[in-house]
Amino acid sequence: MLLAPMLAAALVPTLACGAATAHTDGQAPSARTSVAAAAVDLTDPHKKDIAMRLVSSAENSSLDWKAQYKYIEDIDDGRGYTAGIIGFCSGTGDMLDLVELYTRKSPGNVLAKYLPALREVNGSDSHKGLDPGFTKDWKIAAKDAAFQAAQDSERDRVYFGPAVQQAKKDGLRALGQFIYYDAIVMHGPGDDAVSFGGIRKTALKKARTPAQGGDQTAYLNAFLDARKAAMKTEEAHSDTSRVDTAQRVFLKAGNLDLDPPLTWKVYGDRYTISK
């Protein structure tokens, strides 16, 4: 959670309630029904892999997200060590939860001895009790399939699952589901103004979700506006290219199902997923 610096179209007017809402996303009812039947959401394994590659392009400047189990560094954002496929942080509790899960599954693992220190530094940027061996041992653990499985499990439990579930409740298609997921990864699942819940509340003041009868594109633009404002409150997250030259690009193109080919830029680097 809460990673390194990462990844504006004009707002489309929200549709009125009643009969007009039957034409959400500018399609006649029959066409919309056909698209909905064909659409695949972010829980599809291929779509989920695309989501992970998009996040990795911003967090690790690579599309090879599976190479990031071993990633660990302090990015000076006040959250201690950031590590793994989703940026688990020693200062925010999710790294502690991860290592506790790993230790329940694999007692005596190489990271188990750091549990007291992880409990002590939770809520701070301290490395007390972790240095000098923690980063080396993290990379050793990352070769263990059980640790990789634990990272996958915590990613899904804390971030991917809740984000996609909320997006579906809001009537969002795959792109919107990804936009929620990317936001909850960086900002965390809380309700304060700069966490996922607060960002969503800010967006709801500007536009209605499709589930409320609103237009999908208008709502997602409002959400990205709120997300961008939240990013700018922290120097570590002040580069908003993951919104400006990635998610906005897909949204402006009308690619609400996040279908490849996809081409985007983060920090000026160009990436493509062809299929």
What's the angle, vertex CA 258, arms to CA 18 and CA 142, rounded to 5? 130
What is d(CA 7, CA 193) in angstroms, rounded to the nearest whole number?
A: 20
* Annotation marks residue 77 as catalytic: yes
List, in sequence order, every residue forming a beta bridge with 72; answer none if it has no partner: 83
**Is the CB of residue 261 less than 8 Å from the CB of residue 272?**
yes
**Is the CB of residue 225 less than 8 Å from the CB of residue 206?**
yes
What's the angle, vertex CA 127, arms to CA 98 and CA 57, rounded to 5? 55
Catalytic residue among 41, 59, 94, 154: 59
**Is the CB of residue 75 less than 8 Å from the CB of residue 1?**
no
What is d(CA 6, CA 244) in angstroms, rounded to the nearest whole number?
A: 11
Report the amino acid identity of residue 200.
R
Q: Quick one: angle between helices 45-60 and 174-187, nearest 10?
A: 40
* Annotation marks residue 73 as catalytic: no
Pairing of strands 88-89, 81-83: antiparallel
Tokens of 220: 């997602």
In the chain the first and final C-alpha atoms are separated, in Å, by: 27
Catalytic residue among 25, 41, 74, 77: 77
What's the angle, vertex CA 176, arms to CA 171 and CA 178, rounded to 5? 130
Active site (catalytic) residues: 59, 77
